[in-house]
Amino acid sequence: MAFVVPKESFAGKVFPVTIGTEIQETFGGENTLPFHSFEGEIPNRPLIAYEIQDIPPEDWPETVREVYSEVSDDPAKWAKYCVDELKAKAIALRLIGTHPDQKDLSADDAVKVVKEVLEAVKVPLIILGSNHVDKDSEVLVKVAEVAKDRNCIIGKAQEANYKTIAAAAMANGHKLIAMSELDINLSKQLNILITQMGFEKERLITDPMCSALGYGLEYTYSVMERIRLAALAQNDPVMQPPMLADVGMYVWKIKETQASEEDLPEWGSLQERGILWEAVTTASLLLAGAELIIMRHPKAVELVERFIDEMMG
């Protein structure tokens, strides 16, 4: 009697999300667990976006900052470099300079930057605020208007400001990131609140928050895994938007990616260590169910793209 490989099928399916206009990218859409193509359909590969900022990234470690040293003083030039030289499929513009503890740039300053980046590149754009609840409510409304009909992703909407940001994304034809704090119940609640406003659940991206390898990664993994199982096994439509892992900002601030070789020679090459830390963190969260990733170092992106190729091959 021939051995039959047991296979598991699910009633649920992750919503596919398409972003961009002239150049479009689609992620999500699978009806099986990550990379389980032997059990279901995975029509779209995970999408990696390169992170850029509206101001030079002075708080990034030198090992990643040096890659962009010639272009990071100009967001449009930075975005074009990522597309032309690094073959970026999407750009994530973080308006960190608008944060009151940074440059406290105005919403009009942010609008100018977004306009310039949109003119410089045609790949899909993710527009992120500074994660300051009040300032994001002001800034993201204006940038959503200037990017009208470019089918961007706007974020991040949180419990304290989701009404304003969701309304702006809805009025201007954008997708929306809904971010909660590493709790499946909070994530579900926020998605429900946003959809009750009339925002289509098929236009949402869930951000359950993120963490780096060695800094609570297993907890992040568990939350993401539970969200994905709720979408597939329980066929819960509120949990079926694709998930975001905002990896770069969490990885490149930890000790392991910043401590010098002089201080900790037993840790080996600082550059290799940082690249591998970002790549391994990303690979782990892809296995947990993330479909959209924001990363910083091109060599880490290269490693992850190879990993995806092998897993989907």
Alpha-carbon separation of residue 34 from 12, 46, 59, 113, 270 (angstroms): 14, 10, 33, 36, 31
- pLDDT exceeds 90 at position 221: yes
- pLDDT exceeds 80 at position 8: yes
Binned at pLDDT 50, 70 and 90, residue 126 comes out as very high
Please write the tens of the pLDDT for every residue from 161-212: 999 999 999 999 999 999 999 999 999 999 999 999 999 999 999 999 999 9
Binned at pLDDT 50, 70 and 90, residue 2 comes out as confident
Binned at pLDDT 50, 70 and 90, residue 5 comes out as confident
- pLDDT exceeds 80 at position 159: yes
Mean pLDDT, residues 66-80: 98
Query: What's the pLDDT at 151?
Result: 97
Query: What's the pLDDT at 246?
Result: 98
What residue ranges define each of the domains in the chain, with the CATH number in brackets?
Answer: 19-312 (3.20.20.20)
What is the residue-averaged pLDDT of the chain? 96
